[in-house]
Amino acid sequence: MASGATQLAIRSRGQMKVGIVCPYDLWEPGGVQQLTTELAAYLQLDGDDAVLIGVGKYRRHGGPGRDEFTIAVGRGFKVRANQSIVPLTLSPMSFARMSSALRWVDVVHVHEPMVPFAGWAALRSGKPMVATFHADAPDWVDRGYRLLPFVGKRFRSVVLTAVSETARQSIPESWGEVRIIPNAIDVSAYDLPVGRVGRRIAFLGRDDPRKGLDIALEAFAAVHQLRPDSELVVMGADRGSNPPGVRYLGRVSDGEKRRMLASSAIYVAPNTGGESFGIVLAEAMAAGCAVVASDLDSFRSVVADTGLLVPVGDVSSLSTAMVSLLEDDVKREKMSVAGREAVQRFDWTNVLTQYRTAYNEAIASG
């Protein structure tokens, strides 16, 4: 491998070779999968060589450009963790496959490095490394990190990042400095010329308890009694029968998601916990929705003072907040404008620059 100075010169010509590692099945929906896929694509568009390495049996996929730079190191198995189901690999072959996939890169960017086996395999690569932590880790994970001194020793030679303060809290201080680099979206992609339906409320999420669909449905039932012209559109889940005013769309494409958000007046996120960022809040803000969300630390850092935050699991407060916005067009519009301004800090043009700085530092110190 070339020296740090040489590598930095290569970077200046837009020829950095980056291996991006996602420990989850790339063909399952999820925030980490979305971020890593888009990060690889933006690096490619910017003239760099990027390979996305993740979990799953490789097959042709309809996403633009994804096939050209994706490698899978093992089949995904769905395991319950952190109040959800995560699709990771438990194949011992992932270590050899990961080593082969990373042999040509200048720097490795591993997301959720403590997730088996893909994250562990990436840590063994011996390459300059940036590690990004995403999860709102439970207490037992925090304790586990502190009880494994060899883990901390490995991370002291790695550039550490976290997507939020919530994600950073589980990382021991002894591992070194952790910088916050948030999740990112293409803000302009959500500014679509579609008509906004003034009484439409949108929800997006898997049918996992922590996503709060039951809470949303119960709160909307009260909303619909007061405002029979209101509508709740549910993306990402489908329970078959439609309660009054509710429309299930099931799993949607990225394009359909953006169009539906752009046509909705309100976005509701009644999540109960386990969230480290809340990328869908940023998407809803970019689309011009007024946001009503659970008062989680991670959501507060995204929405700030541009949305309405309600106590977690409080159906009455959630329904009251939605009704107040349905009945106040001026307030909704002010929230829409404020959200679109605030979300610019999560645009890829800003976040990619921060990751490039981290890559260069990792290479220079490696």
pLDDT tens for each residue of 206-228: 898 999 999 999 999 999 999 99
Judge whether residue 63 has pLDDT over 50: no
Q: Distance of alpha carbon 182 from its chain centroid, rounded? A: 9
Place of tokens 């480290």: 276
The kind and range of the H/E element at 317 are helix 315-326
| Torsional sign, CA 55, 61, 64, 66 | positive
184 neighbors 352 (Cβ within 8 angstroms): yes
- pLDDT digit string, tens, across residues 297-336: 999 999 999 999 999 999 999 999 999 999 999 999 999 9
172 Rama sector, left if φ>0, alpha if ψ -120 to 50, beta otherwise: beta
List all residues 6 or more positions away from 139 whose beta carbon is below 8 Å from its beta carbon. Answer: none
Mean pLDDT over residues 112-136, rounded? 91
Mean pLDDT over residues 1-27, rounded? 63
In this prediction, residue 65 carries a pLDDT of 43
Dist. CA 9–CA 178, nearest whole Å: 26
pTM, 2 dp: 0.86
Judge whether residue 202 has pLDDT over 90: yes
In this prediction, residue 355 carries a pLDDT of 97
Q: Distance of alpha carbon 260 from its chain centroid, rounded? A: 19
In this prediction, residue 84 carries a pLDDT of 66
Helix, strand or coil for residue 269?
Answer: strand
Q: Which DSSP category does 197 fall into? A: E
Dist. CA 50–CA 54, nearest whole Å: 13
Dist. CA 268–CA 320, nearest whole Å: 12
Structure tokens that stand for 357 in this block:
């700085």
Mean pLDDT over residues 99-103, rounded? 92
Average pLDDT, the chain: 87
CB hemisphere CA count around 122 (13 angstroms): 33
CA 230 vs CA 106, 127, 201, 255, 316: distances in Å: 53, 54, 8, 24, 17
